[in-house]
Amino acid sequence: MPFTSGGFVPGSSRRLIVIVLFEGVDLLDVTGPPEVFSLARRETRDAAGYEVVLAAETMEPVTTGAGVRVLPDTTFEQAAAGRIDTLIVPGAVEVDSEHRVHPLVDPALVGRVKTLAGRSHRIASVCVGAHILAAAGLLDGKRATTHWSTARQLAADHPAVEVDADPIFIREGNVWTGAGISACLDLSLALIADDLGEAVALRVARQLVMYLKRPSGQSQFSVPLEQVSTTRRIEDLRHHILRNLGRPLTIADLAAFAHVSDRHLTRLFKTELGTTPYAYIESVRVEKARGELETTDATLERIATNCGFGTTDTLVRAFRRRLNTTPTEYRRRFRTPQAS
């Protein structure tokens, strides 16, 4: 049945969630959030009042990137006639002949999203849906994330956006951006926590058999170890850093290793990896520390030494800065059974 409700009413218990539907959209981006919100309704005995609808250009079936056809509940025009609590914009990609991933950004869809966003209390993108929000100007001046494989393109195409490829989701005011595909579950849980509190979100996480609700700072992927550079010099530097994490690593030392000036080294990192040498080194050290926390019984002092932090205080500060948690809390949440 076509959607005919009057939309979201501020201050009411009813929350209308509109998910944008279009040809080629990633299936999990579309189906994941409704599952999470339906569990919230169950956990609160419908106190959440969530109503999820799929909006498309027409009422015709939409074929997702997985080949599964999905029926819209309403059209963009009908959805824009009322007030929306949360607008969720999923993404779609295409892969070229060289197996490179490119987000699909249709100008007509961007216009529709911009209109719907103007009627929305809260806006969220899933995965490469961030490229659509950016094209609509909704991320200008904001920090945002997306799937790690397209983060560099997002930054290049939209310099007014501060792209951070590491977190699984980022909140900037009323705009939320989520990372790769399955992170739509974490993003939806965060939206529920924002609406109904952490206790409800954790109950939903248990129903989803997710090992507690991941904090927003939790890395979506081993980005520092997987970033692709185009020059041999940077590749050699990255391997040199990995081999020497336990030692002091200064810009002067790295510049001498690469046979360049300090200033040129900083410029190389910014151009190739989109970050500074110090920030990159810290991210790799945090990545290594995460692995040790997950899989070993090593003390924080030992991990701090092994990973080049020097002191536990430095280790803790880096975790708070990059993951918004502490090493102790991280170990409690993500330690593997083998390490117990």
Per DSSP, the three-state class of 53 is strand
Residue 218 burial (C-beta neighbours within 10 Å; 0-12, 13-18, 19+): buried
The one-letter code for the residue type at 174 is: N
Per-residue model confidence as pLDDT tens digits over 237-284: 888 998 899 999 999 999 999 999 999 999 988 888 878 999 999 989
pLDDT confidence tier of residue 81, bands split at 50, 70 and 90 = very high
Nearest to 148 by CA among 134, 168, 132: 168
The answer, yes or no, to whether residue 212 has pLDDT greater than 60, is no
**Region 144-154 average pLDDT:** 91
State what percent of residues in the chain have pLDDT above 90. 55
Q: Compute the distance between CA of residue 288 and CA of residue 116 in angstroms, rounded to an integer.
A: 42
Q: Compute the distance between CA of residue 281 and CA of residue 291 in angstroms, rounded to an integer.
A: 16
Q: Which CATH superfamily is domain 15-207 in?
A: Class I glutamine amidotransferase (GATase) domain (3.40.50.880)
Name the class of domain 224-339: mainly alpha
Q: Which of 40, 89, 127, 184 is catalytic?
A: 127
DSSP result, 130-197: HHHHHHTTSSTTSEE---GGGHHHHHHH-TTSEE--SBSEEEETTEEEE-STTHHHHHHHHHHHHHH-
Spans of all domains in the chain: 15-207, 224-339
Question: Is 307 part of the annotated catalytic residue set?
Answer: no
Q: Compute the distance between CA of residue 18 and CA of residue 87 in angstroms, rounded to an integer.
A: 5
- Give yes or no for a contact between 21 and 72, defined as CB atoms under 8 angstroms apart: yes
